[in-house]
């Protein structure tokens, strides 16, 4: 049986999880699924030991020694992307190997290397939420989707930041062997087969974790356990012991979004988790997450995810 060949491209200051996240997914698939083993290799511009952003080194072979055919080319992201994108040898070889690959993918800011190689021209793509505006500005011929966990456009796949490389790799396993096979790997890795919603929710929720002001930080810790409560601005501002105007201004400064938008994001996240992991009726989930009615929750799903709770459960619910 032919082993699908996975070539992962790293470089000096690559982010280690961009490399090891997909690597572990393909390795786990090879160990726990009755499929041809994925044959993985890591390459870099000059080969040898490569120092990642975390200080951990990984071994690699020289990229110009690699010849096809390749099943899947994975390009990692990392720090100093301007330097990486300016590495002519690296970019030229990525372009060469892409022409010999069935699928071409990037993790996080690896999208900048695909764009520098001209591989994203006229295509939809994504990258880390904090880098989407820069990708769009530097490469206007790329249609950037800032709220996607990953994007597939033809045989080119791009993912959002860091851990989204695991989501991407699981999607590639599902593309090869079906959703049930990918679900087995996800369970082994103790991760969701596919996280609900887009990365915009993570940018908001992660920003909330770094809130500095105590009344806002305490409120955010309290909020997820009180989704069925009245979470209007008057109620929230009173709990934070601030005027409504002070509260709204401070919340936006600390969290990066409005209170109403954040509350809906937290309720959406809770609803998605219940849809994905339980058989609870949709109307019960709507009530328990603070939406009140299925119609209200449905409108939120349509607006934020362009789908319905029922469709979300069909695609991502319990097998």
Which residues are the active-site residues?
108
- Hunting for tokens 């954040």 — which residue is that? 262
Radius of gyration (Cα) for the chain, nearest Å?
A: 21
Residue 194 has, within 13 A of its CA and on its CB side, a CA count of 27
SS3 content of the chain, % helix, strand, coil (to 5): 50, 15, 35
How many Cα atoms within 13 Å fall on the side-chain side of residue 290? 19
| CA distance to 10, 101, 149, per residue, from 13 (Å) | 8, 25, 23
Q: Is 2 exposed, middle or buried (0-12, 13-18, 19+ CB in 10 A)?
A: exposed
Q: How far is CA 161 from CA 145, 165, 227, in A?
A: 13, 7, 28
Of residues 107, 114, 70, the one with CA closest to residue 91: 114
Counting Cα atoms < 13 Å in the Cβ hemisphere of 268 gives 28
Please state whether the peptide bond connecting residue 69 to the residue before it is cis, i.e. omega within 30 degrees of 0: yes
Element (H, E) at 173: helix 164-177
Q: Distance between CA 226 and CA 221 in Å, rounded?
A: 10
């Amino acid at each position: 049986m032919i082993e699908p060949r996975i070539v992962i491209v790293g470089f000096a200051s690559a982010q280690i999880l961009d490399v090891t996240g997909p690597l572990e997914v393909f390795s786990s698939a090879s160990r726990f699924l009755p499929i041809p083993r994925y044959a993985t290799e890591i390459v870099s511009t000059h080969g040898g030991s490569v120092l990642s952003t975390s200080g951990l080194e990984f071994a690699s072979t020289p990229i110009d020694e690699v010849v096809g055919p390749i099943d899947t080319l994975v390009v990692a992201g990392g720090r100093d992307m301007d330097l990486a994108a300016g590495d002519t040898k690296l970019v030229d070889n990525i372009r060469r190997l892409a022409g010999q690959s069935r699928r071409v993918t990037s993790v996080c800011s690896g999208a900048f290397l695909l764009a520098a190689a001209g591989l994203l021209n006229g295509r939809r793509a994504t990258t880390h939420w904090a880098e989407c505006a820069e990708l769009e500005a530097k490469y206007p011929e790329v249609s950037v989707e800032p709220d996607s966990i990953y994007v597939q456009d033809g045989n080119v796949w791009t993912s959002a930041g860091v851990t989204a490389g695991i989501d991407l790799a699981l999607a590639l396993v599902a593309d090869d062997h079906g959703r049930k096979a990918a679900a087995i790997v996800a369970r082994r890795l103790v991760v969701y087969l596919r996280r609900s919603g887009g990365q915009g929710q993570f940018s908001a929720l992660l920003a909330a974790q770094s809130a500095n002001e105590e009344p806002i930080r305490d409120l955010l810790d309290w909020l997820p356990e009180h989704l069925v409560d009245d979470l209007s601005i008057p109620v929230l501002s009173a709990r934070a012991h601030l005027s409504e105007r002070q509260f709204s201004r401070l919340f936006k400064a600390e969290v990066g979004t409005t209170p109403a938008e954040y509350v809906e994001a937290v309720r959406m996240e809770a609803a998605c988790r219940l849809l994905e992991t339980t058989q609870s009726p949709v109307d019960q989930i709507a009530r328990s997450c603070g939406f009140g009615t299925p119609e209200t929750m449905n409108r939120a799903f349509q607006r934020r995810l362009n789908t319905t709770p029922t469709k979300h459960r069909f695609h991502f619910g319990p097998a």
